[in-house]
Structure 1
Amino acid sequence: MKDLRGKTAIITGGASGLGAAMADAFGSAGMNIMIADIEAEVARTKVEELRARNVTAEWVQVDVTSRESVRKGAAETIAKFGKVHLVANNAGIGTGGSLGSVPEGDWDWVIDVNLKGVVYGVEAFVPLIESHGEGGHVINTASMAGLISPSGMEPYCATKYAVVAMSEGWRHQLAPRNIGVSVLCPGLVSTNIYAGRRNRQNAIYGENDKAYGQADLDRQREWMAGGIDPLVVAQRVVEGVRDNDLYILSHVEYEKVVRDRFEGILAAFEKSKQSSALAALPKDRRLDAVSIDG
């Protein structure tokens, strides 16, 4: 998608944070914007901001933990714009903690939002992108925590690793259909993800087993404020879409950490080549795994 002007993008979690920045960046590139967010009033306000800058924009309330809600958002997008060319599966929340301290409901919540929400978005929008024959693009927001796993962030990392893996597979499936796939893996960005519990559905996921008071929010707010400007990340996303990049990175300072992880994996391969147990296997055996190229 080199030429974005006049095409339509839908962004989940698009009313605030990185999603709102993507709306600004894609709107500035001439795209029509559909804001999909669980917070209706915030979405409405964001659309008013976009319209004030002469961006064609609409909003729809979407809960990405519900496949039916995402489908309704897709139908509303087509009703408003006729076509959709780009879907940014960006809605996400963060949770973690030491082993044994993470409430069961938080595991369910983070998987439903960060993992299943991406699945629902791809399943709902890819057929709509394919239907008009003009090509398009899928952007899935993962994280640097989808490439490395800091201690204490295992629930978040598990979902973000999954988003990376799914994006890599879908990339090969959708390329013949003229649909690009990118996975965004940023580091710390100055957003309000720290306040994601405001939308936690306690009726579904249970009451919190841990107290999250104002002091916790203040510490997290201060930490997140040290992140980079979300608009810079969003502009990098626009570049990545135009270049059809698979991996879109914004925090180059993490290169060594990621390289160290993969060097550890490569070292394990080298060690396994010297394994007495594996030496008994036939030397001419063929790989029985599916090629990464599909």
Structure 2
Amino acid sequence: MTDISNRTAFITGGANGIGLGIARAFAEAGCKLALADLDAAALEAAKKELSAKTEVATFVLDVRDRESFARVADEAEAALGPVSVVVNNAGVGGGAPAAKLTFEHWDWVMGINVNGVINGVQTFLPRMAERGKGGHIINTASGAGLAIAGTGVLYHTSKYAVVGMSEALRVELEAHKIGVSVLCPGPVATDIVKRSYADRPDAPANLSEKERKFAEESAERVSQILSQSTPPEDVGRMVVEGVKRNQLFIHTDRIMVPFIEERTRVLLEAMPPEKKSA
């Protein structure tokens, strides 16, 4: 999609962090914005800022709620016209050590990081395909969806799912002239760790006080690292360029290169030997 001006972009998690950075970049590119988020105050602030550059509509939305997603989609298109750029960006981090996870933790992370993406695709894709005017879907995964880099089994699981879904979608949607990109950011200067820690289900009761303290201190250390990482606005510009070029993968840095190389090596070495012809 080389020309995205005058398109309507629907962005989940659009009032904070990477989502807001993407919203700013799409506004600069001339897109109308439908921003969805759970944070009503942040939505209000985003609308006040971005309305100076483009038309903006905001919606409080839990991406796990399919009925609300459909209602918000209708309202967004009534206000701004057909949505042809969908950014499934809402996501959370966090969890617990694998042996301490609960079903509640799994349901929370997978519900937002995976089902939220599914709900966004399933809500808008049939509309886009029926209109026959093309479009683009961007799903936010992570470098953690490409190789194991120590961010925990729960987070890795959710992000691997988004990467696989995006790769498969891209193949199927070529016939509809709908592009698909998967954003796989490395460290980005957002407060996702703190917000996820505050919003997550209660920590498992079987965590010891020492384990609980370690988790809190780790979250604080990661937050400090993130604060000095790639700015969300830079990520937003990368996404806009990725959409214009119809890139499958959008990376923000090269931090995952050694992990991807090691995973590739292990995968290839596990292949059975080639059969020799008779």
TM-score by length of 2: 0.90
- Are 1:98 and 1:152, in contact at CA under 8 Å, matched by a contact in 2? no
After superposition, residues 83-94 of structure 1 pair within 5 angstroms as: 83-94=82-93
Q: Which residue of 1 aligns with 2:74?
A: 75
Q: Which residue of 2 aligns with 1:262?
A: 264
Output the CA distance in 1 between the equivalents of 2:36 and 2:98. 34
> Residue 149 of structure 1 aligns to a residue in which SS?
coil
Q: Which has the larger radius of gyration?
A: 1
Q: Which amino acid aligns with 1:70?
A: F
After superposition, residues 197-236 of structure 1 pair within 5 angstroms as: 197-200=197-200, 202=201, 207-209=202-204, 211=212, 218-236=220-238
Output the CA distance in 2 between the equivalents of 1:99 and 1:83. 43
Deviation by residue 1:131-188 (Cα, 9 ceiling, x = unmatched): 3322100000000000011235110000100000001111111110111111111111
Output the CA distance in 2 between the equivalents of 1:243 and 1:152. 30
> Residue 221 of structure 2 aligns to a residue in which SS?
helix
Shift of 1:89: 0.2
> Residue 181 of structure 1 aligns to a residue in which SS?
strand
Q: Which amino acid aligns with 1:193?
A: I
Output the CA distance in 1 between the equivalents of 2:199 and 2:81. 30
Deviation by residue 1:90-117 (Cα, 9 ceiling, x = unmatched): 0000023322122331111000000000
Output the CA distance in 2 between the equivalents of 1:266 and 1:148. 14
Q: Higher relative CO (CA 8 A, sep ≥ 6), structure 1 or 2?
A: 2
- Are 1:17 and 1:193, in contact at CA under 8 Å, matched by a contact in 2? yes
Runs of 4+ residues deviating >4 angstroms: 210-217
Q: Which residue of 2 aligns with 1:178?
A: 177
Q: Number of residues paired by the alignment?
A: 270
- Are 1:88 and 1:140, in contact at CA under 8 Å, matched by a contact in 2? yes
- Are 1:93 and 1:196, in contact at CA under 8 Å, matched by a contact in 2? yes
CA RMSD of aligned residues (A): 2.1
Shift of 1:249: 1.1
Tell whether 2:25 aligns with 1:30. Answer: no
Output the CA distance in 1 between the equivalents of 2:219 and 2:150. 20
128-137 or 31-40, larger mean C-alpha shift: 128-137
> Residue 99 of structure 2 aligns to a residue in which SS?
coil
Output the CA distance in 2 between the equivalents of 1:186 and 1:64. 21
Output the CA distance in 2 between the equivalents of 1:216 and 1:95. 11
> Residue 100 of structure 1 aligns to a residue in which SS?
helix
> Residue 134 of structure 1 aligns to a residue in which SS?
coil
> Residue 69 of structure 1 aligns to a residue in which SS?
helix
> Residue 232 of structure 1 aligns to a residue in which SS?
helix
Q: Which residue of 2 aligns with 1:7?
A: 7
Output the CA distance in 2 between the equivalents of 1:2 and 1:151. 37
244-253 or 9-18, larger mean C-alpha shift: 244-253
After superposition, residues 1-294 of structure 1 pair within 5 angstroms as: 1-52=1-52, 54-151=53-150, 153-194=152-193, 195-200=195-200, 202=201, 207-209=202-204, 211=212, 218-269=220-271, 272-273=272-273
251-260 or 208-217, larger mean C-alpha shift: 208-217
- Are 2:94 and 2:197, in contact at CA under 8 Å, matched by a contact in 1? no
Output the CA distance in 2 between the equivalents of 1:199 and 1:46. 21
Q: Which amino acid aligns with 1:268?
A: A
Deviation by residue 1:258-281 (Cα, 9 ceiling, x = unmatched): 122112211111xx227xxxx8xx
Shift of 1:215: 5.3
Deviation by residue 1:203-242 (Cα, 9 ceiling, x = unmatched): xxxx332557975654342122132111111111111100
Mind listing any 5+ residue stretches in structure 1 that lack a counterpart?
285-294
Mind listing any 5+ residue stretches in structure 2 that lack a counterpart?
none
- Are 1:96 and 1:152, in contact at CA under 8 Å, matched by a contact in 2? no
